[in-house]
Amino acid sequence: MEVIDLTQTISPDMPVYPGTERPRLSQATTIERDGFAEKLLTMYSHTGTHIDAPGHILPGGATLDRFDAGKFVGAGLVVDLAGRTGPGIAGVVGMAELEPYAGGIPEADFVLFRTGWSSRWGSEGYFSGFPVLSPEAARWLCGLGLSGVGYDCISADPVGSDGLPIHRILLGGGLVIVENLRGLDALVGRSFVFSCLPLAIEDADGSPVRAVGIILS
């Protein structure tokens, strides 16, 4: 078994979605003073590699604690979009781009989009230009019984998008969204189990996750 780490490290100087605060990691206790070390973490629920629940965007939408743990583990498939560009603010991923994967996507629980943007982590270029799904493609994915989708970029919609339409389609279709993944290149063309277990937080609209790809053979 091989486990591929797909998670960005949480740190005080990490990239965060524009308009939110960076996490604060303060030393609450020390071994020298208190006999044990412990940190106080102050951060948004959508910090770093994280998962969006329907309740993140949709009034009355389900929160993460409403799902069984099995919702967050399942067969993964990587759609490799690295190097693709398109019109407008970001490249648009439509049915033509998904067609080469049409045979495998219905067998997956999680479809993970490798945009290549994780290589820009820590730079201003991380926040713009990444490919996003067309509404048609997002609706098609919602009809396949998936558990969720994931991205190696900061959002399923362009930063500053009015109304976050792709979020609304995907979350409204019962999917969860995982953002800020990394390392998807190691899983292109491979069979693997994807795990994105969130923290067990009451009424969680989102949560940081330790996302991994597990290659069983």
pLDDT tens digit sequence for 166-212 = 999 999 999 999 999 999 999 999 999 999 999 999 999 999 999 99
72-83 confidence digits (pLDDT tens): 999 999 999 986
- Please report the sign of the dihedral spanned by the C-alpha atoms of residue 73, residue 132, residue 138, residue 55: positive
Looking up tokens 């629940």, which residue turns up? 53
Domain annotation for the chain: domains and CATH numbers: 2-8+45-215 (3.50.30.50)
CB burial string 170-189: b at 16+ within 10 A, e below: bbebbbbbbbbbbbbebbee
Please give the share of the chain, as a percent, with pLDDT higher than 90: 94
Enter the pTM of the model: 0.95
Compute the distance between CA of residue 26 and CA of residue 133 in angstroms, rounded to an integer: 38
